[in-house]
Amino acid sequence: KPFCLKPFWLKSASASTQKPHPCPWLATTRSSLDMAAEEGGGSWDQQLEEWVVTEGYCYAAGLAQMADYQLYAAAPVAGEAGWGFIHKEDHEEQILQDDAVTTKPMTICEATCLKVAVETGRAPEGGFWLGGEKYTVTQYEEKLEVGDHEYTTVFVNKPKKGVHIIKTESQVIACFYDETKEVVGGGFQTSGNCKKAALALGEHLKSQGY
């Protein structure tokens, strides 16, 4: 089933008048994007569910555009459960300092986390966060060749969980797995199967020019 690019953009949180927004570059990129939905086809959320989540290899998935790295689609769709898994509005966290003793509060912008990880293979100051959870960036391939296509891939994980992030021409895919969640037909979710699902979606997007 072909994809129909149909972003449903989230409204940006209001910036504080007391301090700069933790993602200052979003304000300049968002205005230049075409945010109108195309006619025909299902929403990106529904198609993410069909292509990635339904088979059970991933418990959640999201899509962002490279223009601003803001997630605009999420699955599972029911009850907007996907958004609860993959995204949290800018949040303050206590970040452990180099002395391994003291902490300091930092505002975390998850779009910045995606941007820095995809473009540099590293976590930004404050660490890599998605869905309000902190992960470690453990693997980065700037140019991974799979079949006729080339991708940038990032793997972030924490005990029993992880996210495979795939960059295509203009899209960023994030697929989440949890080793404690069972797969229909037997077994549990694994990093390997999650990555295969992410790359399969990436291949399709590449073939469509995305």
> Do residues 161 and 194 lie in contact, with contact meaning Cβ atoms separated by under 8 Å?
no
Stated pTM of the model: 0.80
The model's pLDDT over 82-96, given as tens digits with 9 standing for 90+, comes to 999 999 999 999 998
pLDDT band at 23; cut points 50, 70, 90: low
Q: 6-10, 64-68, 80-84: which has the minimum mean pLDDT?
A: 6-10
Instruction: Tokens for 30, please give them.
Output: 């968002």
**Mean pLDDT, range 121-132, rounded to an integer:** 97
Mean pLDDT of the chain: 83
**pLDDT for residue 162:** 99
Residue ranges per structural domain of the chain: 42-87+137-207
**pLDDT for residue 42:** 61
Q: Which amino acid is at 106?
A: M
Instruction: Tell me: pLDDT of 33 over 70.
Output: no
- Architecture in CATH for domain 42-87+137-207: 2-Layer Sandwich (3.30)
The model's pLDDT over 162-176, given as tens digits with 9 standing for 90+, comes to 999 999 999 999 999
Identify which of 9, 14, 16 has the alpha carbon closest to the alpha carbon of residue 68.
Answer: 9
Q: 18-27, 122-131, 168-177, 199-208: which has the minimum mean pLDDT?
A: 18-27
First vs last C-alpha separation in the chain: 15
**Mean pLDDT, range 8-27, rounded to an integer:** 39
**pLDDT for residue 187:** 94
